[in-house]
């Protein structure tokens, strides 16, 4: 294996951070590493909002479900899917903007995910810890107003960055055979593999530092997908110009 693969396999979400600030040059290098990620059709449809104001951080932490690490991380970034720049380019070139198609929404959102993951790998390679904050989508309109996001831009998630102040265990992932298929989609043998994995996840929660809820992966996923999930997002996205034709 390579050092990069080893680094990727050691990923954990960090929710407690030390007081050491991140060097400005390192932060900029991390964001530039994010920009080097693949981008569909060269759209580069991601904008990163760096939030340093204490009161704005406090409000974002509250909107994200009172996640204290939004306030305590050395840096907090909000990664936004951005079609506003593309709209500006259309205007400059004298062409009509048709960026409200579902495909455009997808490629901008994927651009954000790709850029963010490049940033995460860069940050972790420098000894930093990270935590994605999808909870910003609990109240996307309030986040949009707080960050003054224009039409054509929406907050996909936040990202905490800082030097870890704890050492959590790595959470086990699904067996490779469940995820990697040959030629066609097949579920043969998956039920047995997932049953063993469920037991592994339950043991992880039972023994991890700080304890856990003790649920298996299947129980967690069933709970997640048997309930409504942020039903406000569709109306919010339409209001931001993502009408998804």
Break the chain into its structural domains and give their ranges. Answer: 3-167, 171-227
CA dist., res. 135 & res. 31, Å (int): 22
Given a contact cutoff of 8 angstroms between Cβ atoms, the answer to whether 59 and 70 are in contact is: no
**Which of 9-13, 95-99, 151-155 has the least mean pLDDT?**
95-99
User: Residue 245: its pLDDT value, please?
Assistant: 84
pLDDT digits 0-9 by tens, 54-91: 999 999 999 999 999 999 999 999 999 999 999 999 99
The model carries a pTM of: 0.94
Backbone angles phi, psi at 15, to 5 degrees: -120, 0
Alpha helices, DSSP H only, in the chain? 3-9, 24-35, 54-63, 69-72, 84-92, 102-125, 140-147, 176-179, 190-207, 217-225, 233-239
User: What is the distance of C-alpha 232 from the center of its chain?
Assistant: 19
Q: Count of H helices and E strands in the chain? A: 11, 4
User: Residue 66: its pLDDT value, please?
Assistant: 97
For 3-167, CATH gives: 3.40.109.10
CA dist., res. 157 & res. 244, Å (int): 20
Given a contact cutoff of 8 angstroms between Cβ atoms, the answer to whether 12 and 21 are in contact is: no
Average pLDDT over the chain reads: 95
Please give the average per-residue pLDDT across 14-40, as a whole number.
Answer: 98
pLDDT digits 0-9 by tens, 196-235: 999 999 999 988 866 667 899 999 999 999 999 999 999 9
């Amino acid at each position: 294996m390579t050092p990069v693969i080893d680094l990727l396999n050691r990923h954990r979400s960090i929710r407690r951070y030390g007081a050491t600030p991140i060097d400005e040059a390192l932060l900029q290098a991390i964001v530039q590493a994010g920009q080097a990620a693949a981008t569909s059709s060269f759209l580069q449809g991601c904008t990163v909002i760096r939030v340093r104001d204490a009161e704005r951080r406090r409000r974002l932490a509250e909107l994200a479900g009172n996640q204290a690490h939004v306030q305590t991380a050395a840096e907090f970034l909000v990664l936004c899917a951005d079609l506003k720049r593309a709209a500006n380019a259309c205007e400059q070139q004298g062409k009509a903007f048709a960026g409200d198609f579902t495909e455009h929404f997808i490629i901008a959102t994927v651009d954000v995910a790709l850029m963010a993951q490049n940033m995460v790998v860069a940050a972790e390679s420098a000894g930093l810890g990270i935590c994605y904050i999808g909870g910003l989508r609990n109240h996307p309109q309030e986040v949009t107003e707080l960050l003054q996001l224009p039409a054509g831009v929406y907050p996909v998630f936040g990202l905490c960055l800082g030097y870890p102040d704890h050492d959590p265990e790595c959470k086990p992932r699904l067996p490779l055979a469940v995820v990697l298929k040959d030629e066609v989609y097949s579920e043969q043998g998956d039920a047995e593999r997932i049953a063993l994995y469920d037991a592994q996840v339950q043991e992880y929660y039972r023994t991890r530092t700080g304890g856990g809820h003790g649920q298996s992966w299947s129980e967690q996923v069933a709970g997640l997908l048997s309930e409504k999930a942020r039903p406000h997002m569709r109306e919010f996205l339409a209001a931001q110009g993502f009408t998804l034709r």
